[in-house]
């Protein structure tokens, strides 16, 4: 085991006097301090700009959910399992929003075994349906880190080299039951360049620390439900690509969407290839759809991998969704309101500037209020005043 300076544990440090943050003003009210805390909470999103770091845009991620006996604990309401499943549903939606050409698979582990809930797929609906059904399942036994990791590894090792292979484990138990030496498995994972991250629900477990450190992932233990949500959202953004990932040109198809109406003479109803295996009922026949440019197989939704010829089918907006990761927006400079006498209105929303600090874009020097700044950085990803200039970004 290689030596590494271990972080000082929390009980080894000094006292943190958290009550000293609250200060009363002259009239004895805490209003100013509370407002300050709320303002800081709004700005809490630490804007980590990766700068010129290459990102892994095509991701294959397995989410391993621990469904052992400890998930019936009620410290997260109503119990850990329900709360986790709800948050993972939200995570899957956000994940496909930010990474439209990536794939996700879900594995559950209990009773010393691991089983796949859903296979690696690019369609969020399947995963969300499976997660909703899993709410009724029972928890029992002990989880097995070894089995779940080897199950994930079996699929991930066949994935192409240019994509990033990741596993995210939501681990609530303090024990694991493994059939073989897990440190050997950690060495294999490292050789296959699979990055494993863990979110702990109970406490820090040493084997998880070693696992994440060796494979290059992150390990956090949650404090409460909102912290859990934050930690999950942290994994939505594409991670920096490892230096060993290959860059290649991937062949993709961009099918046209044909909308045929019944009154059209030439329109023929046809089956979608994706529905051939599904047992979810419904006739499956539809008039329009996306036809693969190579083999003319029909699909109702994109992105999908053609089952007949193996071509990845996407549409241009899917790729465009990921562009903001490649050209991230700079953080705006915060400055107190008193310095800005001339501007009284936010450039973007035309509202009066009421908060105690305003944000200035470094390239065009326009002034924005707190909410617009948050919206611009979280959702819009471009400065409203800068895009008025004609120069290409």
Partner 1 sequence: MSAEDEVSLLVIVVDVNPIWWGQQANREPQFTLSKCLDAVMVMGNSHLVMTRTNKLAIIASHCQESHFLYPCKLWKSGDGHGDENASTSGDGKYELLSVANDFIAEEIKNLMSRTEVKGNQTDTLLAGSLAKALCCILSTKMLTGQEMKSRILVVKAAEDCALQYMNFMNVIFAAQKQSILIDACVLDSDSGLLQQACDITGGLYLKIPQKIALAQYLLWVFLPDSDQRSQLVLPPPVHVDYRAACFCHRNLIEIGYVCSVCLSIFCNFSPICTTCETAFKIPLPQVVKSKKKKLKPSTHTCK
Sites of contact with partner 1 (CB under 8 A): 54, 57-58, 97, 161-163, 241, 246-259, 261, 293-294, 311, 315-317, 319-324, 326-327, 344-352, 369, 371-372, 375-376, 379-382, 384-385, 387-393
- For residue 373, the Cα-to-chain-centroid distance in whole angstroms is 22
Residue 11 Cβ vs partner 1, minimum distance, rounded to whole Å: 42
Smaller CB separation from partner 1, 277 or 352: 352
Q: Which is nearer to partner 1, 18 or 379 (CB)?
A: 379
Residue 328: CB minimum distance to partner 1, A: 12
CA distance 367 to 369: 7
- Tell me how far apart the alpha carbons of residues 44 and 38 are, in angstroms, rounded to a whole number: 10
Shortest Å distance, C-beta 371 to partner 1: 6
Q: How far is the CB of 244 from partner 1 (least distance, A)?
A: 12
- Identity of the residue, 141 or 328, whose beta carbon is nearer to partner 1 in the bound complex: 328
Backbone angles phi, psi at 14, to 5 degrees: -80, 180
What tokens appear for 46 in the block? 């630490």
Q: How far is the CB of 350 from partner 1 (least distance, A)?
A: 5
Q: Which of 327, 332, 343 is nearest to 371 (CA)?
A: 332
Q: Could you tell me the sign of the dihedral formed by the alpha carbons of 241, 101, 196, 227, in that order? A: positive
Token pair belonging to 39: 């303002």
Minimum distance between the CB of residue 90 and partner 1, rounded to whole angstroms? Answer: 13
**Side-by-side strand order, sheet with 367-368:** 333-336, 357-360, 367-368
Q: In terms of residues, how long is the chain? A: 393
How far, CA to CA in Å, does 274 sit from each of 103, 136, 301, 314?
A: 16, 27, 9, 15
Nearest residue (CB) to partner 1, 46 versus 259: 259
Please say which residue, 140 or 161, places its beta carbon nearer to partner 1.
161
Smallest gap from residue 368 Cβ to partner 1 (A): 8
Of 52 and 226, which CB lies nearer to partner 1 in the complex structure? 52
Q: CA Rg, the chain, in Å?
A: 25
Q: In what order do the strands lie in the sheet with 59-66?
A: 113-121, 103-110, 59-66, 164-171, 194-200, 219-221
Nearer residue to partner 1 within complex by CB, 24 or 378: 378
**Assigned token pair, 277:** 């295996």
Find how far residue 363's CA is from the centre of its chain: 30
Q: Cα 8 to the chain's mean position, in Å?
A: 29
Q: How far is the CB of 231 from partner 1 (least distance, A)?
A: 22
């Amino acid at each position: 085991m290689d030596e590494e300076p271990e972080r000082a544990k929390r009980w080894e440090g000094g006292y943190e006097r958290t009550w000293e943050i609250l200060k009363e003003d002259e009239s004895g009210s805490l209003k100013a301090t509370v407002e300050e805390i709320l303002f800081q909470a709004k700005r809490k999103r630490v804007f980590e700009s990766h700068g010129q770091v290459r990102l892994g845009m095509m991701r294959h991620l397995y989410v391993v959910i621990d469904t052992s006996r400890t998930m019936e604990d009620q410290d997260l309401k109503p119990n850990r399992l329900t709360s986790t499943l709800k948050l993972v549903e939200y995570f899957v939606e956000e994940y496909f929003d930010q990474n439209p050409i990536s794939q996700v698979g879900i594995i559950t582990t209990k009773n010393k075994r691991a089983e796949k809930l859903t296979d690696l797929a690019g369609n969020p609906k399947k995963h969300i349906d499976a997660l909703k059904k899993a709410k009724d399942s029972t928890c029992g036994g002990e989880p097995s880190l070894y089995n779940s990791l080897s199950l994930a590894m079996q699929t991930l090792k066949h994935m192409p080299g240019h994509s990033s292979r990741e596993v995210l484990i939501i681990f609530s138990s303090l024990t694991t039951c493994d059939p073989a030496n897990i440190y050997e498995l950690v060495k294999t994972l490292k050789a296959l360049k699979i990055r494993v991250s863990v979110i702990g629900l109970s406490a820090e477990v040493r084997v998880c620390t070693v696992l994440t450190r060796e494979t290059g992932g992150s390990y956090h233990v949650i404090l409460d439900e909102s912290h859990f949500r934050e930690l999950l959202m942290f994994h939505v953004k594409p991670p920096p690509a490892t230096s060993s990932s290959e860059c290649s040109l991937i062949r993709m198809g961009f099918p046209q969407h044909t909308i045929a109406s019944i009154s059209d003479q030439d329109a023929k109803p046809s089956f979608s290839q994706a529905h051939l295996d599904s047992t979810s009922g419904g006739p499956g026949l539809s008039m329009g759809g996306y036809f693969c440019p190579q083999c003319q197989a029909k699909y109702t939704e994109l992105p999908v991998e053609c089952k007949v010829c193996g071509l990845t089918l996407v549409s241009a907006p899917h790729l465009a969704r990921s562009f903001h990761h490649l050209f991230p927006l700079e953080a705006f400079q915060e400055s107190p309101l008193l310095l800005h006498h001339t501007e009284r209105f936010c450039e973007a929303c035309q509202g009066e500037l009421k908060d105690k600090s305003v944000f200035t874009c470094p390239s065009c020097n326009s002034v924005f209020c707190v909410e617009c700044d948050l919206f611009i950085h979280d959702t819009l990803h471009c400065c409203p005043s800068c895009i008025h200039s004609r120069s290409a970004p």
